[in-house]
Amino acid sequence: MDITIRKAVKEDCPRMLELVQELAEYEKAPQEVTVSLEHFVDSGFGEKPVWWAFVAESTAGAEKQIVGIALYYIRYSTWKGQRLFLEDIVVTREWRGRGIGKQLFDRTIEEARDKKFKGMMWQVLDWNEPAINFYKKYGADFDEEWINCSLSEEQVNMALPV
């Protein structure tokens, strides 16, 4: 299997967004992906990028093909300092079970170590047993205490009087 893990470039964004949509479908929330390609590209490759990513690229055959991604950003903890937050890791359905997710995860850990972050964090749905079992192999801590909270763009816009 010829797989190369490399830093994402701007031209990868359309395929990356396809994989994000595939992940959303797997997580039973395809309607939740509302980011435009333009916003996605600008957020990763504009004047002030807020995310970075690695792609897994198949180099077998005539054409290269992105078959997986690991997208992250920097989270700041007042208790711990800068930590890498792995937003999404996904390998397209046809390529799962070949160790590509491990290669992406390992490269992301390497990035956290190289940048001297104070750790790495991510979320996993409580029903996603394959992912949970994968993370257990790394000795990951699972926090049952914290509850995720969020406000949508609409809620933010309506939260305070103008």
Q: Where are the domains of the chain?
A: 3-159
Residue 73 a catalytic site member? no
Q: Is the pLDDT of residue 101 over 80?
A: yes
Question: Tell me: the pLDDT tens digits for 15-63?
Answer: 999 999 999 999 999 999 999 999 999 999 999 999 999 999 998 777 8
Question: Tell me: the pLDDT tens digits for 132-142?
Answer: 999 999 999 99
- Please give the pLDDT value at position 122: 97
DSSP string, 25-80: HHTT-GGG----HHHHHHHHHSSS---EEEEEEE-SSSS-EEEEEEEEEEEEETTT
Catalytic residue among 26, 73, 76, 135: 135
Stretch 64-85: mean pLDDT: 97
The pLDDT-based confidence of 1 (bands split at 50, 70, 90) is low
- Architecture label for domain 3-159: 3-Layer(aba) Sandwich (3.40)
